[in-house]
Structure 1
Amino acid sequence: MKRAIYTLGLGIFLGLGLSMPAHAQQTLKKGKVSITKERLKDKIKGGWAGQTIGVTYGGPTEFQYCGVTIHDSIPIKWYDGYIKKTMIDVPGLYDDLYMDLAFVDVYHRLGLKAPVDSFAQAFAHAAFPLDQANQAARYNILAGMGAHEAGHWINNPHADDIDYQIESDFAGLMSPGMPNAASAISDKVGHIMNYGDGWYGGVYVGAMYTLAFLYDDVHLIVKEALKTVPVKSDFYKCIADVIQWHQEYPNDWRKTWSKLEEKWANDYCPDGVFREFDIDAKMNAAYVVLGLLYGNGDYGKTLEISTRAGQDSDCNPSTAGGILGTLLGYDHIPAYWKMGLQEAEDIDFKYTTLSLNKVYDISFQLALDMIRKYGGKVGENEVQIATQRPKPVKYEKSFPGMYPTDRVDLWRDVKDTASLRFKGTGFVWRGTTKAVKAGTPDHVFLVDVYIDGKKTETVKLPTNITTRRRDFCWKYQMPDTAHEVKIVVNNPNPDYELLSLSYVVYGTKPVAH
């Protein structure tokens, strides 16, 4: 593929499909870049196809390798027809795209001024299953909580999890060359389920997508996009470390992985505290960047590294594959990775009415709308984008001054009442509900929560997988003293289980574990 490379003030612009007018240096400062409609759509298609390829490839390894890398001797399958087979046989794998598609559909139906509540209600009432921050937010919204309260760390113990990071692709793909426009979308949508570093994951990923429309250098994309994240955030510091370590160890991605593990493997998600499991946004974003930097534009190598880094190893190659797919464009994703894709492009993703072919077209139209909105022009065969220099979003931090100090595994069925005692400034009590026998109608447990002898709330704990509460109860910013938490089941039923899993305690200082 022949490229004309223009070295200009902000970086290197992709020559294929882009045209630079006279006095390009001055034009760049004004932020005007032209691209053919054909090339614009090809890049949008590359982004969506790249996500689908990446998540399909990494699917079998998701959270199978936690705290370790996947050795090169372990094969990861890929063959012609695999994408279609997976979409039909394992539709739940594509939860990476369900939320993306739900948000695209809202914009498609309601336009660019769609209110935040429309996005919140769209996924809260959707039929697809969710987990982590998404499910916690869904429960909050169904319980009547405001959209931007649902993802706040006070109300969502999973606020720093990966959720919006893996569903922010749509924001970047509809904002070509406009990272700050993508950040505005992320501010509206991403705060429904995440906050702080969890939100920054989506801001950063969205920005990388937008810059993939302009630059053909993944190293530049990684660095420029990070300018959208406040420098004092842990998310920024973590990704900056990856960039620095890549410079120090340019041929050894596992060395950088080891340094990441040593410094940043401190998941605050109650599922991962003092465990190898890590669903933290910044750590998994680091694996995306690991793949992009060490992959160096090679599609297969990028997917391999972001998958073999472990943890959420379907989401991470999905993100990396989508960003690189946008940079390359659909037509230039290697044929090996697209084999069998075409026969899957008209299949609607389960729980949706959208297929890849449909979302290619919708995203293209949304991109044209965004180009117009932000001062660009749309012609018959070409568009002119008013490009943006990345600007940092506002600073925010989840769980300030809080550190995990203890974790106690319980694994016991709660018949009518249960309690726990601890010393600290906060806790999360993890639990789940289910029917004893398959096919039993759903049941909603009504549970009173008492903290230090005072009733604080009555919570609904549905057995329905799509409406369940992600954790029994939690509270932060408590006095640093001894506490007792008690739950009382108002409507016990022998046909259903209320299973207490574990609890995590937080304090004011980190502890060795």
Structure 2
Amino acid sequence: MTAVATDVELADRILGGWLGRIAGNMLGKPVEQGEVWTRDRIDRYLRRAAALPLTDYFPEPPGEEDGLDLRPEWRSCVRGRVHGSCRDDDIDYAVLGLHLLETHGFGFSTEQVGDLWLLRLPFLQTFTAERAAYRNLANGLKPPLTATYDNPYQEWIGALIRADVYGWTCPGDPRRAAALARRDAVLSHTGNGVYGAMWAAALVSAAFTAPTVRHALDTALTVVPASSRLARTVRRVASLHDTRMTWEDTLATVSAETAGLGWIHTVPNAAVLTAGLLYGDGDFTRTIALTVRGGLDTDSNGATAGSVAGVLTGASAIPGQWKDPLEDTVRSAVFGFDGVRISELARRTLRLAEATA
């Protein structure tokens, strides 16, 4: 793939990725509980609040009972109350990945990923596969045992949410981005959990040079085994989209076909993400809104969709209702990074991307 045209454009695309990831994460945070906040329930909430189509952060609960099942963080994530980003693991891992590359370079080892977790990331801010791997690291295990010992979450979405930084720092080089993401992912995941991280990194990387989001999705599929369930599910969503099936019917079809995997498993979430990207068709607001309305792991899917859409459009084209309330500020549990400027993270990411050119 060809390089991004200019340094200014590259800087804008990288900043767009950071802003998009944070905005998408914030959008999905209030309803992040897939077994409670189904697609139908999310849309019922939005209709009651007169917020369909969704073009801004979630509205405050229209009635007292509507807010009972929202995530506790909702008060800092709904429209009119957003002042900088909420702390969230979807953003912590992007920050930590940037620090990893700055500390160890692109030749980092999986062991160094684990060492940095122990040094910089609080144990209680890890979840599912990451918490299992962290515990295994603390008990002296080494990769790949950290991913496989007493870890029932090996194919869940955790590795995928760690992958964006490898795409941002390898613009237009999806295979290299995927290889870096794999080296990170095998600390905690196996199988489709690892493939999801490789696919996401390649997708973000491809978005820098792809003419359309469909081209980026097609390119990202080339880095994972074609026979994997992840790849088959992504292709299934794309084929349904090609038939002009509605977004709602596409998600209903694929949801039935992935039933039983759970709302944090990589495969059904990749389906929701793919549908949001395809039916969003390059429009930033529509992409993150459809992705979050798709349910399951809403904040993680919103974050990745926002990252891809932000890279495609660039920061300058992201509507103000998404980026302005972020106030160029990130809250993070990663030691030494709480309160860092989003623009500073983007500048540091750009330096790494330019070093790979």
TM-score (norm 1): 0.60
Q: Counterparts of 1:378-393 in structure 2 under 5 Å?
A: none
CA distance in 2, matches of 1:32, 1:302: 25
Runs of 4+ in 1 over 4 A off after TM superposition: none
**Aligned AA (1:296):** D
Counterpart in the other structure of 1:109: 103
Counterpart in the other structure of 1:327: 312
CA contact (8 A) 1:166 1:202 kept: yes
In the TM superposition, residue 211 of structure 1 has moved relative to its aligned partner by 0.8
CA distance in 1, matches of 2:330, 2:224: 36
CA contact (8 A) 1:124 1:139 kept: no
SS of equivalent to 1:33: coil
Counterpart in the other structure of 2:189: 194
In the TM superposition, residue 66 of structure 1 has moved relative to its aligned partner by 5.0
CA contact (8 A) 2:276 2:287 kept: yes
CA distance in 2, matches of 1:312, 1:359: 25
Counterpart in the other structure of 2:82: 82
Counterpart in the other structure of 1:337: 322
CA distance in 2, matches of 1:119, 1:132: 17
CA distance in 1, matches of 2:2, 2:279: 31
In the TM superposition, residue 208 of structure 1 has moved relative to its aligned partner by 0.8
CA contact (8 A) 1:45 1:329 kept: yes
CA contact (8 A) 2:24 2:302 kept: yes
Judging changes above 3 Å, is the alpha-carbon distance between structure 1 residues 38 and 81 closer, same or farther for their aligned structure 2 residues? farther
CA distance in 2, matches of 1:306, 1:179: 23
**Aligned AA (2:177):** A
TM-score (norm 2): 0.85
CA contact (8 A) 2:90 2:162 kept: yes
In the TM superposition, residue 205 of structure 1 has moved relative to its aligned partner by 0.7
CA distance in 1, matches of 2:83, 2:270: 24
Counterpart in the other structure of 1:44: 14
CA distance in 2, matches of 1:307, 1:34: 29
Judging changes above 3 Å, is the alpha-carbon distance between structure 1 residues 139 and 60 closer, same or farther for their aligned structure 2 residues? same
In the TM superposition, residue 137 of structure 1 has moved relative to its aligned partner by 0.8
Counterpart in the other structure of 2:47: 73
Counterpart in the other structure of 2:334: 351
Judging changes above 3 Å, is the alpha-carbon distance between structure 1 residues 111 and 224 closer, same or farther for their aligned structure 2 residues? closer
Counterpart in the other structure of 1:306: 291
Q: Which runs of 5+ in 2 are unaligned?
A: 52-57, 60-77
**Aligned AA (2:110):** V
In the TM superposition, residue 224 of structure 1 has moved relative to its aligned partner by 1.8
Q: Counterparts of 1:208-227 in structure 2 under 5 Å?
A: 208-227=203-222
1:379-430 CA distance string (max 9 Å, x none): xxxxxxxxxxxxxxxxxxxxxxxxxxxxxxxxxxxxxxxxxxxxxxxxxxxx
CA contact (8 A) 2:4 2:208 kept: no
Q: Is 1:177 matched with 2:179?
A: no
Counterpart in the other structure of 1:63: 33
Q: Counterparts of 1:114-513 in structure 2 under 5 Å?
A: 114-125=108-119, 126-127=121-122, 129-152=125-148, 155-250=150-245, 252-267=246-261, 272=262, 278-341=263-326, 343=327, 345-354=328-337, 355=340, 356-371=342-357
Judging changes above 3 Å, is the alpha-carbon distance between structure 1 residues 294 and 314 closer, same or farther for their aligned structure 2 residues? same
Counterpart in the other structure of 1:422: none
SS of equivalent to 1:82: coil
In the TM superposition, residue 292 of structure 1 has moved relative to its aligned partner by 0.5
CA distance in 2, matches of 1:259, 1:83: 38
CA contact (8 A) 2:164 2:304 kept: yes
SS of equivalent to 2:297: coil
Judging changes above 3 Å, is the alpha-carbon distance between structure 1 residues 346 and 67 closer, same or farther for their aligned structure 2 residues? closer
Judging changes above 3 Å, is the alpha-carbon distance between structure 1 residues 236 and 83 closer, same or farther for their aligned structure 2 residues? farther
CA distance in 1, matches of 2:330, 2:158: 24
CA distance in 2, matches of 1:235, 1:60: 27
In the TM superposition, residue 79 of structure 1 has moved relative to its aligned partner by 3.1
1:52-86 CA distance string (max 9 Å, x none): 000111110101545544225154225355142xx
CA distance in 2, matches of 1:32, 1:308: 34
SS of equivalent to 2:108: coil
Counterpart in the other structure of 2:71: none
CA contact (8 A) 2:186 2:194 kept: yes
In the TM superposition, residue 156 of structure 1 has moved relative to its aligned partner by 2.1
Return the structure number with greater relative CO, CA threshold 8 A, min gap 6: 2
- Number of aligned positions between the proteins: 322
CA distance in 1, matches of 2:335, 2:81: 22
CA distance in 2, matches of 1:34, 1:246: 28
CA contact (8 A) 1:197 1:234 kept: yes
In the TM superposition, residue 116 of structure 1 has moved relative to its aligned partner by 2.2
Percent identity between the aligned chains? 25
Point out the structure with max Rg over C-alpha: 1
SS of equivalent to 2:155: coil
